[in-house]
Structure 1
Amino acid sequence: MSSKKLLLWSDQMRIEISLDKLLRVNLVFIFLKIWSPKVFMLVVVSRFIPVLSREAGSYFYLSVISQGVRRIERHLLKHGNTNLKLTLLIMKAPVSWFDLRTMEQYYINNLPCNLNVDKDAFGSGYHGEMSEENRIKLRKDRGTSFFCYDVKSKTLLFIFDSIEEAININIHRSSLNNSLHLGDLYVGQILFSLVSISGYSNSLMSIEELKAFIDNLKKDWKITSHPHSIKIIAENITNPSLTKQFNSLNELSIALKGDRTTLRKYLFDPSFKGKLYRKQWRFTVSDD
């Protein structure tokens, strides 16, 4: 350290203390806080309070460390504090905020440590907020790219950057995973694959076009091909004009604002045979 820098902090006092005595110390001074591999220094401006007990002590409570919110807490949780010592640089009052900031910045610059997330003296201790552009880029980098094929026309329709992109166009996650990992067809025609499939021609479309295409397939799939889809005739005995045929139990549930479990009982439970739903609806499974 140069003589000029020594002069700047000539009124500081150096104290080292073991961690087992940490919570029994009661001092009121101005301290400097910086993390280095085996040194912890604390900056606090405080009067008439037990500074060490409140500030330094909080870093070493197991209940705090176990949360792992700060990087230093994760470091202590993993490596413990056996080889860690606390160094206090106590400056005689009065001391200006400028002196404190200059002093802290000096140690940050000259004691490089990967536990110092914030390199700015008196900073928040956290990274700056990530821009939306970088958030999108990070999601894509972390995402899993996969292919979308139409097995009927044997064409490649789209290449997804991530699973999130597929979910955003209303593709159910479990159905997507079943197609990716089990080879199940989505809505009877779409195959999602983590690897490129040879023999398929390219017919790439935009994400909007793909969404519209899949939405149309869903409509046809529900009406004609869905294995769990059943056609139900809902007969209203008090007002025959309300009688209608529905293409699925879900569609019936939405129309009548009813519970599917209850509706299923009126359809299939023998103990409900002959009973009317809400005293006016009779349900019949259509054979068509």
Structure 2
Amino acid sequence: KKNANMLNNKSKLSLGFVKTITINSNDNYDVIIGKNNNFNKQNKEFKDKYVKVVVQDPYNNRDIILKVTKKQKGVYIWETLEGKNMYVGHSINLYNRISTYFMPSILNTKARKVLRHLNKHGFSDIKLIIYIMDIKSSLDQVVSLQQHVIDTLNPSINVDLVASSSGYHQPVAQEIRKKLRKQTGTPVYIYEAERFTLLHIFDSKQYMYNTISIHHKTLHDCIDLGVLYLDSFFLSLDLLETENVYMLNLDQIKALVKTKRELHKLKHPASKAIFAEFKNDASKNLEFDSLNGLAKHLKGNCKVIREYIQGIKSGYYRGKWKFTYKKKQHIKQL
């Protein structure tokens, strides 16, 4: 169910007539991104397309936020239900950015006014308003929309009313931006998650692949889903507001990642190898280095396959396969 919803008078924006979708946990939340047929092309004040999404009870609707903001650009507003307090931010990777507000390690830093507010009051009396722009929108266009929203709403929780500024540490931000102007790719920022400290800026995703040997799927999960890299680092395409900046050179960040990777291996030992025996035809037997690898190859469900391995389910999987664990060193890579 999709319901048209208007913001209260204090929150109305003169951005033309836009399609507004209010989402609750029981709603069907399929949203077409980047195609706003109701956009008023005669609006001279702001011309870029967007879809407005209002998420009630955002903490318990994080799955909805993921679905509508993954790999999207735009502006977000935290607004208390009575409309008294608001914070306006922007991102070229909305879910990655919004997910940081739900991370206890970041909330507990209380480094910024918005974090102190959420840490003190929680998410029970707040809603999340998202303006999702066309995926082809430039960073300048996203920042321009944020500035327009700030100028219109005069949000009480924003410390700095200049879009894209870094609040308390604007000189540091300017120094970093000067460095970024020399880069040609899309930079990737790496933060220490416990204190939300900016550690290094990689020139591009490819540069990260080449220098710290991060797998491309791992990098995408970290950036798109907000997964912590090696349980220690938060990766972002945005320069986020933080009081903590401790820039490491390339050799230092490589050494730190190497140390964290070794600790991560100790905490997360390698998966057990699995021998897959094909019924009545040994030539089709296979070996896999993990349950995920087996499930992916057979296009099956991990939970169901695990039940066959553990003996919870008897017989042959799909009438063909029998699975047993093997020692890792005997695996033939597929």
Regarding TM over 0.5, the answer is no
Q: Which structure has more RCO (C-alpha within 8 Å, separation ≥ 6)?
A: 2
TM-score, structure 2 normalization: 0.33
TM-score, structure 1 normalization: 0.37
Bigger Rg, structure 1 or 2: 1
